[in-house]
Structure formats: structure tokens, C-alpha cells
Amino acid sequence: MNVLVLVSGGLDSAACLQYYLAHDQDVEALHVSYGQMAEEREALAASAVCKFYGVPLVHTWLKNVVAGHGEIAGRNALLLSIALLRLGSGATSIVGIGIHAGTTYADCSPAFVATTQRLFDLYSGGRIVIDAPFVAWSKKDIYQFMGDSSVVELTYSCELGASQPCGQCRSCHDVRRLTC
């Protein structure tokens, strides 16, 4: 079964690539730019991470989808829907997403995955499976899974898209917990 991994350019999606490659899966990556403030930096990080792992990367650009900054309601539902569109209803595949426990985001939970899987089942007849291998893991667990991998330095996680992470957004707070 092929795996399409949603790659944001952050630590979680990089770990997701590493996870499926370690399980000898045939992996392709999908990065979606949807007008987020960090769009440019995330796209660069996603490219660098995929190059590091030797995984083919497909970029999809949507214009003016997001208004404002911070938490983007429906972000993971949008990303998963785009993966479904990319695969088509006849594919038999896994869509990997690097969501994890310990966040306050509504779309980072087993309930979100189960609800979205029911929608995928409607469209694909059960042939496309959403897999969130870290949904019960903390950010620290994911970081430890990555080990001493130099790919961590290639990742980017800040909602504002500044050259240096802002330290204030929820993504930055999530990363900060690694050092606590």
C-alpha cells in the first residue's frame, strides 16, 4: 500500500516521513500552501526535509484560502481533503498525518481522525485510510523518536512565518515544551 504523507515542513510531519520509511513503505509527500502566513518558510522546510529523506514531494497551491493568522479552523480537514482529491476514489492508500497529543487544536485528536475517516470511507469505499501514528504521543515523544537526526534542523514551526520563530504562537509553544 502506498503512503501519501502530509508534510508541513515541521517536526511532526518530518517524523511521519521517517516513521513510514522505517516501515519500508512506498512514500510520497504532499505539501499544501493555502495562504498561511508561514507559507514560504514551510514550503522551503518541506522541500529540504523531503530532499533529506529522498522522498518525492508534490506542492499544491491554493490562493487566498486563509484570512488572518494563528489557529486556522479546519486546517487538518482541508489538508486531508486535498490528499483525498490527489489520490482519487479508486486508490488504495494510506494518508499519513503527523498530528499528536498534548495540543489544544481541535483537529489533533483520535475523534477528529475517526470522524474524517468516515468521510473518506464514504468517498473511497474504505480504500483510503487516514493514519496518525503519533496521535497518542506528545511532542517530546516525537522528538525522541527522531533521535539525533539532523533533519530536525531543517524543520520550521511558527505560525507567523518570521525568519526566527516568534516564540508566542501555539506552534512555538508546542516546540518550546521540548526543552522543558
Q: Helix crossing, 11-22 with 39-53: angle to 10°?
A: 20
pTM confidence score = 0.90
- CB-side exposure of 52: number of CA atoms within 13 Å? 18
Chunked into runs of 10 residues, the chain (180 residues) has average pLDDT values of 92 96 95 88 96 96 72 87 89 93 89 97 95 95 89 83 72 63
Alpha helices in the chain (DSSP H): 11-22, 39-53, 75-87, 110-124, 139-146, 170-176
Domains in the chain, number: 1
pLDDT at 159: 73
pLDDT at 72: 75
Q: Which domain holds residue 7?
A: 2-179
Please report, for the domain that includes residue 169, its CATH number: 3.40.50.620
pLDDT at 4: 97
pLDDT at 178: 63
pLDDT at 37: 79
First and final CA of the chain: distance in angstroms? 38
pLDDT at 7: 98
pLDDT at 100: 94
